[in-house]
Structure formats: C-alpha cells, structure tokens
Amino acid sequence: NAGVTQTPKFQVLKTGQSMTLQCAQDMNHEYMSWYRQDPGMGLRLIHYSVGAGITDQGEVPNGYNVSRSTTEDFPLRLLSAAPSQTSVYFCASTKQGRAEAFFGQGTRLTVV
Amino acid sequence: AQSVTQLDSQVPVFEEAPVELRCNYSSSVSVYLFWYVQYPNQGLQLLLKYLSGSTLVESINGFEAEFNKSQTSFHLRKPSVHISDTAEYFCAVSVAGGSNYKLTFGKGTLLTVNP
C-alpha cells in the first residue's frame, strides 16, 4: 500500500514553461486536494476534487489547472510557470466520511 | 470561513524540557481540529485530531492537545521533548461533519530541540 505518491520530487522550470505534477493514491479515496507550502505561510489549498470528473477551486487557484479522470489520479498543471509559483506542492487524499487527510511527500518546484 | 493562528513561529527548547505550541482558531461553525508534523524534507503526518467527545486527545509519541471551545484553542503539549521531536508543527481545521478535503492551516511552528 503506497498511499499518496507524488512525482517528481524536485523540478526546475524556466519562466513560461509548462509542466504537470503527478499525484496518485491507491487507497480508493474519493477526495483529493492540492496544497502549496511557502515559508511563513503554512499550506494553502489550490484545487480539490470530490470525485472523478468533479473539481473546484481552493484559496489560490490562479495559474493552475486540474482534472480528475480517475479516482486514483489528480494531476496539477502549470500552463505557463512564473517565479511566484516556486513552492513545495503537496497532494492529499481523504476517504469520504472520514476526517483524516493523507499527504504525499511533496514536489519541490523552482521557477527561474 | 475558518482561520488558524499559531502564535509562535519558532520555539527552541532543551531536551527533556516541556513544550507548548499554541494554536487558536476562528470559525462560525463547528470544526474538527488537527495537528500535523513535518520532519525535514518530508511530507505531513497526522499527529493527533479532535473530532468530538473528550477534549483531551493524545498521540502515540507522548504529545497531547486539549480542545477549549470557549477560548477557541487547541494547544499542543509534551511534558518532555526529545531531539527527534525537532520538526515543524501545523495546526489545521476543517468544517465538522464535512469531509476533509478542505483543510485550513496555520503558518506553522518550528520546534527545535537542543541537547
């Protein structure tokens, strides 16, 4: 049981490049979320999904797209990276009706 | 909307000393409360949670937190810390009865345990 798996662990992008951060969970959780962590800011919610085909915006959605075609996967896309998107990104999943969120190990993204 | 305030950004202590990490929250509805721990270069792990019932909750590694509704607080305590407790600690809330895909986090408290 791998839990929540994020790839890659590290990435450096040039301004304007695009990329997809991958997130997969094998716990059959209905809910998945993306957060970004910045120094002194804690974690802030970017996007979330309550099931396949259903996504919604969180607190800081600008510059990011998501889709949820399967229960297991919830990729986060940066269409045109900006230095302000330099951050550590965490994916989380939660079982419907349960309170505990499980987090991946994070992706450290640097945009230069 | 909910908000979480962690009153200390850094807490340095000596090994075997007691520690308290403070957390206050604001919400117009009932909430669930959580403490997550992040060791260096790792993801977040749930340390303990308050959903309902007894206001004092404990973790397996000696931490405890007490939910105080009147003071809207959920402070984390440990009577004797170890070097291995060095980590960043995050307090978080979510709407009670809802599902936990929308957590609101505090800004974190870096606990440094010195020998």
pLDDT tens for A66-108 read 999 999 999 999 999 999 999 999 999 999 888 889 999 999 9
Contacts of B1 (CB under 8 A, 6+ apart): B27, B104
Of A35, A41, A99, the CB nearest to B100: A99
The mean pLDDT of A24-41, rounded to a whole number, is 94
- Return per-residue pLDDT of chain B as tens, 115 residues: 889 999 999 999 999 999 999 999 999 888 899 999 999 888 899 999 998 888 888 888 899 999 999 999 999 999 999 999 999 999 999 988 765 678 999 999 999 999 9
pLDDT value for B87: 97
Residue A40 pLDDT > 90? no
pLDDT recorded at residue B99: 59
- Is it the case that residue A1 has pLDDT exceeding 70? no
CA distances from B25 to B2, B56, B105 (A): 7, 17, 10
Residue with tokens 């997550």, as numbered in its chain: B36
In angstroms, rounded to a whole number, what is the distance separating the alpha carbons of residues B2 and B31?
9
Write down the mean pLDDT value for chain A. 94
Please enumerate in sequence order all residues whose Cβ is within 8 A of that of A104, keeping only pairs 6 or more positions apart, or say none.
A3, A4, A5, A6, A23, A90, A91, A92, B43
Question: Are A45 and B103 in contact (CB < 8 Å)?
Answer: yes
pLDDT at A6: 96
- Verify whether the Cβ–Cβ distance B107 to A96 is below 8 Å: no
Q: Is the peptide bond before B18 cis (omega within 30 degrees of 0)?
A: no
pLDDT value for A13: 97
Helix (H, G, I), strand (E, B) or coil at A90: strand
- Beta-carbon separation of B43 and A90 below 8 A: yes
- Give me the pLDDT at residue A87, please: 97
B14–chain A nearest CA distance, Å = 23
Residues of A in contact with B5 (CB under 8 A): none
Using a CB–CB cut-off of 8 Å, the residues of A that contact B are 4, 30-33, 35, 40-45, 48-50, 58, 90, 92, 94, 96-101, 103-106
The Cα A64–Cα A102 span in angstroms is 22
Search chain B and give the residue with CA nearest A57.
B102
Q: What is the pLDDT of residue B98?
A: 66
Sign of the Cα pseudo-torsion (A80, A63, A31, B3, in order)? positive
